[in-house]
Amino acid sequence: MKLNTLAPAPGARKRCKRLGRGDASGHGGTSTRGHKGQKARSGGYHKRAFEGGQTPIIRRLPKRGFHNPFRTPVAIVNLDQLTDWPAATPITPEALKEKGLVRPRMEVVKVLGRGEPGQSLRLKGVRVSATAKQKIEAAGGAIEVGS
């Protein structure tokens, strides 16, 4: 076998459409582009937002709002979601992710005070609202700051 004898398997490659090589080729003359106009020219087509010459909607509508690039998304869990939590295990962001209460990519978790804790809960490395903190401590639970 030599490099000059290598060839693709028969039927593996289609021949390219040879445009503008005379009328006998079937793709001569206009080269399958139709007659005249913007789309027949080289490099001729319009932008994605082009609306036939009228001012595009992206320019007609005003700019509004602000997107903070430094925002950290916070996952929210309420006390009524933690009623069937095993008493001995601490509630950490990782444990909440394993149970499916928090999405995997969320880094910060905050517990809010909707509902009542069924038993004393032990929170670790989770943010807690003031009402949730009152209810947890009233039920005999504990909150550890940090992870």
Q: Which domain holds residue 93?
A: 74-144
Q: What does pTM read for this prediction?
A: 0.56
105-137 pLDDT, tens digit each? 988 999 999 988 878 889 999 999 999 999 999
Nearest to 93 by CA among 73, 113, 68, 119: 73
Ordered DSSP codes for 4-61: GG--PPTTSSPPP--TTS-GGGSS-TTTTS-SSSGGGSTT----TT--TTSPPHHHHS
CB count in 10 Å sphere of residue 128: 20
How far is the first Cα of the chain from the last one, in angstroms, to the nearest whole number? 65
Low-confidence ranges of the chain (pLDDT < 70): 146-147
Please name the residue that has the structure tokens 């992206």: 58
Residue 53 lies in a domain: no
User: Number of structural domains, the chain?
Assistant: 1
Q: Domain with 139 in it: what CATH number?
A: 3.100.10.10
